[in-house]
Amino acid sequence: MISNGGTYIMTVTVESYRISDTVSRFLSRPRQLLINGRWVDAASGKTFEVVNPATGETVGRVAEGEREDIERAVRAAREAFEDSPWTKMTPSERGRLLWRLADLLEQNLDEFAELETIDNGKPISVARFADVPLAVDLFRYMAGWATKIEGNTIPISVPYAPGAEFLSYTLREPVGVVGQIIPWNFPLLMAAWKLGPALATGCTVVLKPAEQTPLSALRLGELILEAGYPDGVVNIVTGFGETAGAALASHPDVDKVAFTGSTEVGKLIVKAAGESNLKKVTLELGGKSPNIVLKDADLDLAIPGAANAIFFNHGQCCCAGSRLYIHKQIFDDVIDGVAKYAQKIRVGHGLDPKTQMGPLVSHDQLTRVCEYLQSGLSEGAKAVAGGKRIGDTGYFVEPTVLVNTRHDMKVVQEEIFGPVVTAMPFEDPEEITPVANDTVYGLAAAVWTRDISKGHRLARRLKAGSVWVNCYNIFDAALPFGGYKQSGWGREMGHAALDLYTEVKAVTVQL
Ligand code: NAI
Ligand code: MG
């Protein structure tokens, strides 16, 4: 038990825990890169360490891929795309392969959940119930699409060819070799969001996992081979952003890059794409999502809802409900409820089945979040729950609720990506929409109200790719997800994602 400055007690159990034999075996030797269907060392022979954020200890090593490895991986993906069993595969076969991958993942659910917890820090219960099943479901959803990627037949008029007859139709063809760069907050799920539509449409892939969390993608690589994907269809290069990631984004033979991460790096990706070959770019970037509690909200729903909106995944969610706007008349009740909720969260080692919140992913992330806390408190914000780091082992931060915040504070403007919510009262619901929209981001937003018309009306006015009414963090493989403004380009999941992995070809035949 660690005392939190005397205000309350939080249970933290960073004690010894046992890693299963299966995972121990996986971690017992450096994991290699997957290139052209084979596991290989990095060209340089270098490896880097994998750290468990609950303890700060090194738990394994993985190959450090760089430009030369990206080069090899892109070559393999190009060959697989141009001339391989993959190009001859029927849509039905592609669908069955994806379904098989989903089955294999499901059969190894416990192992994946454990890997995710050790690598990212998240509670194993969450990895078991959310991360892994959502990845399985995404692959199954996309498997169904493989046979349903259709063009149109289009009647045309051609005013300058009177009397001529034509048959015009469109084909949807895979966009080609895709570079996929993913973050560390949902390592397996982000890999699934990216791989699913690419494999359903017939693209080939070079996937670069985040350097903080390479493990589950590498294990998934083994399942991809086991499922029977032809060599070179999926290549996985672990490594750092500035080297491996940058080489992928600027590679002249990559047809599209799909990125999830910070808005800052998103801009670098766009630049690299522009300066190399103008490859297609899709981006899923940061957020600072408003969560609005109206006067008539059902507080039994809204209070835990507002708490989960920010504290789920330790606030390391691009769509975290990090700006809480509460009607003046209920402000104290809601804040009191959310603060109490925050104080009851069991923070601890992710492998402890009772843990509800684990550590932040890395020492860097811990430093970043603590700097934001400092900044907010020094500008006059008050922490009614939390406000600082927990202990000095691992990267734990107290679930924090800040009040006395102003719109111009850094903590209200910038993405913190930690368990920190800023709260502000409002009076007129008409006035809150422009405030909620006054951000460079536009990923998500939520409204809590018993008045359904008001809920729908606000949903129309909020500039965000996802709007939740009387709920938060509801995701589904069938629902498009992505951002307005600087939260990104394009959408993930749903059939919207497929459009971004295909090119449209218009074919016209004179009859
Ligand atoms: P990041 O944007 O640097 O990393 C995300 C991915 O991009 C990683 O795979 C990384 O290796 C790669 N990358 C980094 N620099 C690159 C480059 N120059 N070219 C190509 N790829 C590159 O994010 P980071 O540094 O881990 O976290 C910083 C902040 O970014 C967080 O505090 C959070 O605010 C935001 N973030 C947002 C995420 C989201 O889901 N939208 C996910 C992760 C971070
Ligand atoms: Mg970075």
**Domains in the chain with CATH codes:** 17-285+488-507 (3.40.605.10), 287-477 (3.40.309.10)
Q: What are phi and psi of 508, to 5 degrees?
A: -125, 130
Ligand 1 contact, 221 CB (< 6 A): no
Q: What are phi and psi of 469, to 5 degrees?
A: -115, 120
What is the C-alpha to C-alpha distance for residues 61 and 324, in angstroms, rounded to an integer?
A: 40
What is the C-alpha to C-alpha distance for residues 238 and 235, in angstroms, rounded to an integer?
A: 10
pLDDT at 109: 98
What is the C-alpha to C-alpha distance for residues 21 and 220, in angstroms, rounded to an integer?
A: 18
State the pairing for strand pair 280-284/256-260.
parallel
Ligand 1 contact, 218 CB (< 6 A): no
As to burial, measured by CB atoms within 10 angstroms (0-12 exposed, 13-18 middle, 19+ buried), residue 67 is: middle
Structure tokens at 241: 């952003």
Helix (H) or strand (E) holding 326: strand 323-327
pLDDT at 16: 54
pLDDT at 18: 84
Ligand 1 contact, 401 CB (< 6 A): no
pLDDT at 132: 98
SS3 152: coil
Q: What are phi and psi of 94, to 5 degrees?
A: -60, -40
Nearest CA to ligand 1 atom 9: 210
Dmax of the chain from CA atoms? 87
For residues 441 and 487, is the Cβ–Cβ distance under 8 A?
yes
| Predicted TM-score (pTM) of this structure | 0.97
- Give CB contacts under 8 A, 24+ apart, made by 43-49: 43/68, 43/69, 43/72, 44/68, 48/211, 48/239, 48/240
Structure tokens at 233: 């269809």
For residues 280 and 258, is the Cβ–Cβ distance under 8 A?
no
What is the C-alpha to C-alpha distance for residues 175 and 173, in angstroms, rounded to an integer?
A: 6
What is the C-alpha to C-alpha distance for residues 204 and 80, in angstroms, rounded to an integer?
A: 7
Single-letter residue type at 395 = Y
In the chain the first and final C-alpha atoms are separated, in Å, by 80
What is the C-alpha to C-alpha distance for residues 451 and 449, in angstroms, rounded to an integer?
A: 5
For residues 466 and 319, is the Cβ–Cβ distance under 8 A?
yes
pLDDT at 17: 75
State the pairing for strand pair 8-10/33-35.
unpaired
As to burial, measured by CB atoms within 10 angstroms (0-12 exposed, 13-18 middle, 19+ buried), residue 193 is: buried
Query: To 5 degrees, how large is the angle CA 384–CA 390–CA 391?
Result: 150
What is the C-alpha to C-alpha distance for residues 180 and 283, in angstroms, rounded to an integer?
A: 10
pLDDT at 4: 38
Output the tens digit of pLDDT for each of the chain's 511 residues: 333 333 334 444 445 578 999 999 999 999 999 999 999 999 999 999 999 999 999 999 999 999 999 999 999 999 999 999 999 999 999 999 999 999 999 999 999 999 999 999 999 999 999 999 999 999 999 999 999 999 999 999 999 999 999 999 999 999 999 999 999 999 999 999 999 999 999 999 999 999 999 999 999 999 999 999 999 999 999 999 999 999 999 999 999 999 999 999 999 999 999 999 999 999 999 999 999 999 999 999 999 999 999 999 999 999 999 999 999 999 999 999 999 999 999 999 999 999 999 999 999 999 999 999 999 999 999 999 999 999 999 999 999 999 999 999 999 999 999 999 999 999 998 899 999 999 999 999 999 999 999 999 999 999 999 999 999 999 999 999 999 999 999 999 999 999 999 999 999 999 9
What is the C-alpha to C-alpha distance for residues 255 and 242, in angstroms, rounded to an integer?
A: 20
318 is catalytic: yes
**Closest listed ligand to the CA of 441:** 1
State the pairing for strand pair 280-284/488-489.
antiparallel
Which is catalytic among the residues 64, 114, 211, 284? 284
What is the C-alpha to C-alpha distance for residues 314 and 421, in angstroms, rounded to an integer?
A: 11
What is the C-alpha to C-alpha distance for residues 267 and 487, in angstroms, rounded to an integer?
A: 11
pLDDT at 145: 98
What is the C-alpha to C-alpha distance for residues 189 and 134, in angstroms, rounded to an integer?
A: 7
Ligand 1 contact, 52 CB (< 6 A): no
Listing DSSP states for 244-273 in one string gives IIHHHHT-TT-SEEEEES-HHHHHHHHHHH
What is the C-alpha to C-alpha distance for residues 44 and 68, in angstroms, rounded to an integer?
A: 8
What is the C-alpha to C-alpha distance for residues 475 and 70, in angstroms, rounded to an integer?
A: 32
The owner of tokens 């996986």 is: 26
What is the C-alpha to C-alpha distance for residues 126 and 35, in angstroms, rounded to an integer?
A: 31
Nearest CA to ligand 1 atom 19: 246
Span from the CA of 433 to the centroid of ligand 1 (angstroms): 29
Nearest CA to ligand 1 atom 32: 417
Closest ligand 1 atom to residue 286 Cα is: 41
SS3 58: strand
Span from the CA of 403 to the centroid of ligand 1 (angstroms): 29
What is the C-alpha to C-alpha distance for residues 265 and 261, in angstroms, rounded to an integer?
A: 7
At 282-307, the pLDDT tens digits run: 999 999 999 999 999 999 999 999 99
